[in-house]
Amino acid sequence: MNPSARPRVFSGIQPTGSPHLGNYLGALRNWVRLQDDHDAYYCIVDLHAMTMPWSPAELHARTLETSASLLSVGIDPEASVLFLQSHVPEHVELSWVLTCIARMGELRRMIQFKERSKGEGESVGVGLFAYPVLQAADVLLYRAHRVPVGEDQRQHIELMRDLAERFNAQFGDTLVVPEAYIRGPGARIMALDDPTQKMSKSAGRPTASILLTDDPGQITKKLKSAKTDSGTQVRAGEDKPELTNLLSIFSLVTGEPTESLEGRFQGRGYGDFKAQLAEAVAAHLTPLRERYEAALADPGELERILATGAKRASEVAADTMADVREAVGLRRPQA
């Protein structure tokens, strides 16, 4: 298909090093699926990583690790444009323009901001507050139609739609209003040690999440200690959030429907179930871990992929920004 006739997709991930199983099942798997019939832009959002306190050395290293992880899950740098946010300065420029039409009230309502700023009072960072505006700029810069993300990003996508509509109403039709692409039971994978919270690395509890780079030993250990209720029945249901989450993971990594798993584990107890689940997760992740290690062993190639991606992304970004500058009344430099 002619690439320009295909719908465009954009998504981003923070450079935390190895993604966790939630990132993978909620978002990255869809990124891979969509790259075949979409014009795909996938971005490692290193500037977003600076909205919480950070170590420069860690940011530097984690960015390359995250790039290797994206290749390991199947992002094909020929089929997709894979790049770093900071390599395309237009993200920041558009972010400023959008900041000037965004409202304090709408940013204050963001759930992620409320959660991350808890207890910070007046010392909460301005970057954290403006985070969703930069995220809006990421997507709007590419005039993307779809944004494959997990459920936790729905509100941020709503905000970027509002900003695009407001911009177009005020300055003329310039930006595409994107849609969230949130699919399936993987869209909200919960923490292994607390089914009321989403799986996340920022919780700082290693047993909450499985990383794509975990080896079979680590996977078994984490799943063995995963929280379960005091019953014995392996079944999904509103009254059994822990088992529901574990069954979803089992089903997503094997392709076996939840009902079939429930039948298979009837009367067999949690210990047996967790052991088999660990085996299935390890079998699924082992080839990813191997590809990750191979990719990371060749940093020169990773840098080359990111540089090519930045060049391709910059072409689109420059185009959109030229239209935005004109629309809002900024003057071009005259020779």
Nearer to ligand TYM, 48 or 62 (CB): 48
Nearer to ligand TYM, 96 or 264 (CB): 96
Piece of 72-80, 143-151, 249-257, 275-283 that binds ligand TYM (CB under 6 A): 143-151
Listed residue (166, 170, 177, 175) closest to 328, CA to CA: 170
Q: Does 12 bind ligand TYM (CB under 6 A)?
A: yes
User: What's the rounded Cα separation, in Å, for the pair 143 and 178?
Assistant: 8
Within positions 43 to 62, which residues make up the interface with ligand TYM, using CB under 6 A?
45, 48
Of 18, 23, 35, 86, which one interacts with ligand TYM (CB under 6 A)?
A: 23
Nearer to ligand TYM, 22 or 77 (CB): 22
Kindly report the backbone phi and psi dihedral angles of residue 127, in degrees, each rounded to the nearest multiple of 5, phi listed first. Answer: -60, -40
Of 18, 67, 80, 153, which one interacts with ligand TYM (CB under 6 A)?
A: 153
Of 13, 71, 159, 317, which one interacts with ligand TYM (CB under 6 A)?
A: 13
The closest residue (CB) to ligand TYM is 26
User: What is the end-to-end Cα distance of the chain in Å, rounded?
Assistant: 40
Piece of 148-156, 233-241, 266-274, 284-292 that binds ligand TYM (CB under 6 A): 148-156
Q: Does 135 bind ligand TYM (CB under 6 A)?
A: yes
Piece of 6-14, 55-63, 279-287, 294-302 that binds ligand TYM (CB under 6 A): 6-14
Piece of 97-105, 185-193, 218-226, 256-264 that binds ligand TYM (CB under 6 A): 185-193
Nearest approach, Cβ of 116 to ligand TYM (angstroms)?
Answer: 10
Three state DSSP letters for the chain? CCHHHCCEEEEEECCCCCCEHHHHHHHHHHHHHHCCCCEEEEEECCCHHHHCCCCHHHHHHHHHHHHHHHHHHCCCCCCEEEEEHHHCCHHHHHHHHHHCCCCHHHHHCCHHHHHHCCCCHHHCCHHHHHHHHHHHHHHHCCCCCEEECCHHHHHHHHHHHHHHHHHHHHHCCCCCCCEEECCCHHHCCEECCEEEEECCCCCCCHHHCCECCCCHHHHHHHHHCCCCCCCCCCCCCCCCHHHHHHHHHHHHHHCCCHHHHHHHCCCCHHHHHHHHHHHHHHHHHHHHHHHHHHHHCCHHHHHHHHHHHHHHHHHHHHHHHHHHHHHHCCCCCCC
Q: Does 11 bind ligand TYM (CB under 6 A)?
A: yes
Q: Does 17 bind ligand TYM (CB under 6 A)?
A: no
Of 8, 9, 18, 27, which one interacts with ligand TYM (CB under 6 A)?
A: 27
Nearer to ligand TYM, 23 or 67 (CB): 23
Within positions 191 to 210, which residues make up the interface with ligand TYM, using CB under 6 A?
198-200
Q: Does 187 bind ligand TYM (CB under 6 A)?
A: yes
Residues that bind ligand TYM (CB under 6 A): 10-14, 22-23, 26-27, 45, 48, 135, 138-139, 147, 149-150, 152-153, 187-189, 198-200
